[in-house]
Amino acid sequence: MNSFQAGCVLFIATASLCFAQRAPFIAEISEDQEVGVGGAVELTCSVSFLENYSVIWVKMSEDKNEQMFLSVGSSLVIKDVRFSFLADPDFNTYTVFIRDVQPIDAGTYQCQVILSIHNKITADTNIFVNDPPVISDNSSQSIVTVEGESVTMECYATGFPTPKIVWRRENSALLPTATVSLCNAQRFPSITYISGDQEVEVGRTAELACSVTYGTEFSVIWSKVSDNRDDQVFLSTGTSRVIKDSRLALLYDGASATYTVLIRDVQEGDAGTYLCEIVLSVNNKISQATHLYVKKAPIITHNSTQSIVTTEGESVIMECYATGFPQPKIIWRRDNNALLPSGGNIYNGNVMKFNSITKEDRGTYYCIAENGVGRGDRRNINLEIEFSPVITVPQPKLGQALRYDIDLQCHVEAYPPPQIIWVKDEFLISNSRKYKVSNFGTADEFTDSTLRIVKLDQKQFGDYKCKAVNKLGSDEAVIHLYEANSPVCPPACGQEYNNVRIPFDIYFSSFLISIAIILQVLR
């Protein structure tokens, strides 16, 4: 039983490995080589698990910002009789041969496996060409001076390895030499047309066309380069697509020698610079660039202001930034289209500043980003302003009949929310059989406080103070309560007067009769 279980586990593990797809990698690349002028070198690159991906050999410029194509897949791209190429598909080995090596062949060579338009695997090797010394023109040639003066003689030379400078007099001086070689005249290839810069929405199709003349014997290559030109991804060579991306296609029109790259279902990552190149030699090429800009709906970034809590009188800065293409325009508004502290209903710009904020400026502000793509983006910014309490009373004087209830009210505006108390004759009023205090918040900054006095007696007439305090200050207001000859409704509605209950409808009818009498008198 145990051996059967072990066999099952082994079988399942083996089956899962069979279906797994290994990512390609460069298993071996030639080591750095030193060779003399006129010699020969071999550059070999072996790739494991290559599948259907393309292998490319390129020569890098000294600053690594440019690449010269040598081979793509199983084809030699460069037109130089000194170069040859061998591809062994059985072992996925790709070898570049260089005969009659020259000083210009020295440099870094890179083997690349193109995985996608944004991804590739690379490995580098270097060729060092033993180049005899040549004294450069910035060396001293002749000097005329006056006896007793100091003299500086300079001598510099190029070559590999770095030459050693030796000074001698008389007839041992070294002279620089130069060799000029001329070749037969030939019509020079050129790029006669390349697509202009384009703006494309996500999901659409972009067409990049390049037309050449006298370029039939040379390779035409499309590539995408990074923003700083230090990285390059090859898309096509000649009439063949290099990159393995089903969204990309290559069209060739032989009549006009036009090479067109089609990019379907354009994504944000496709934006960038695209190069059309004609490779002339290992150190010479013709290129023209075009740019693809992908339209992107605005997205307000996280470094924008989200909420602000400040104190009245302070300055306030609100910031709003957004990504997208074209560059989004930032518009500021207030809730209900209220006036901005700076004046007007709209403000344009990323940064909005108020020098001295007031409590009337609190509320919701809207940062709106628009660029004509999609519906734009919006962020709500809540501005909270802390200020000391401000108290208002609807009725500073109130009258009520003896033994009836009465409500005293004060309206408090403050932030943070204040502590509210009622005081009479310097004594703090608290909830009891005779007093009921209730506070009702109508918003973060507004509180209505009501003091109900139950069945007034003679001692309860007088002045009452409503007081509010928070960390920024305090305020108070006085309400004078006097004895009235008849009950006031509300809150006395339904209470007895002289042992008789007076319903609310009687109070209301009396009120209407009083109004009718006043109107009659006015006539």
What's the average model confidence in pLDDT over 1-21?
Answer: 38
- Largest pairwise CA distance in the chain: 144
The helix/strand count (H/E) of the chain reads as: 2, 39
pLDDT of residue 519: 56
Per the listing, tokens 């929310």 go with 417
Asked whether the CA dihedral 383, 384, 390, 392 is positive or negative, the reply is positive
State percent of the chain over pLDDT 90. Answer: 52
The Cα–Cα gap between 55 and 47 comes to: 8
pLDDT of residue 331: 96
Least confident of 10-24, 158-172, 210-224: 10-24
Least confident of 10-19, 193-202, 223-232, 376-385: 10-19
pLDDT of residue 155: 86
Q: Which residues, at least 6 apart from 171, have a Cβ–Cβ distance to it below 8 Å?
A: none
pLDDT of residue 178: 34
The Cα–Cα gap between 447 and 220 comes to: 77
Over 60: is that where the pLDDT of 301 sits?
yes
> Which band of pLDDT confidence, cut at 50, 70 and 90, is reported for residue 523?
low
Least confident of 142-146, 406-410, 440-444: 440-444
Average pLDDT, the chain: 85
The Cα–Cα gap between 422 and 426 comes to: 10
pLDDT of residue 489: 83
> Which band of pLDDT confidence, cut at 50, 70 and 90, is reported for residue 7?
very low
Least confident of 29-38, 99-108, 180-189: 180-189
pLDDT of residue 152: 86
What are the Cα distances from residue 5, in Å, to 1, 13, 101? 6, 12, 63
pLDDT digits (tens, 9 = 90+) for 457-506: 999 999 999 999 999 999 999 999 999 988 988 776 766 544 444 444 44
Per the listing, tokens 């000083």 go with 103
What's the average model confidence in pLDDT over 376-381?
Answer: 94
pLDDT digits (tens, 9 = 90+) for 402-426: 999 999 999 999 999 999 999 999 9
> Which band of pLDDT confidence, cut at 50, 70 and 90, is reported for residue 292?
very high
The Cα–Cα gap between 208 and 400 comes to: 89
- Look up residue 496 and give its DSSP letter: E
Domains annotated on the chain, with CATH: 22-131 (2.60.40.10), 192-296 (2.60.40.10), 301-385 (2.60.40.10), 393-492 (2.60.40.10)
Q: Which residues, at least 6 apart from 135, have a Cβ–Cβ distance to it below 8 Å?
A: 155, 156, 157, 174, 175, 176
Over 80: is that where the pLDDT of 224 sits?
yes
Per the listing, tokens 């910035």 go with 138
CB atoms within 10 A of CB 367: 24
Over 90: is that where the pLDDT of 181 sits?
no
pLDDT digits (tens, 9 = 90+) for 33-60: 988 888 899 999 999 888 888 899 999 9
**C-alpha triplet 19, 22, 24: angle, nearest 5°:** 150
> Looking at the whole model, is its pTM more than 0.75?
no
What's the average model confidence in pLDDT over 100-117?
Answer: 91
Query: Which has more confidence, 174 or 260?
Result: 260
pLDDT of residue 465: 96
Over 50: is that where the pLDDT of 281 sits?
yes
What are the Cα distances from residue 504, in Å, to 174, 204, 285? 126, 74, 101
What are the Cα distances from residue 85, in Å, to 3, 54, 60, 95, 99? 54, 15, 18, 6, 11
pLDDT of residue 186: 52
Over 70: is that where the pLDDT of 65 sits?
yes
pLDDT digits (tens, 9 = 90+) for 14-31: 333 334 567 889 989 999
pLDDT of residue 151: 84
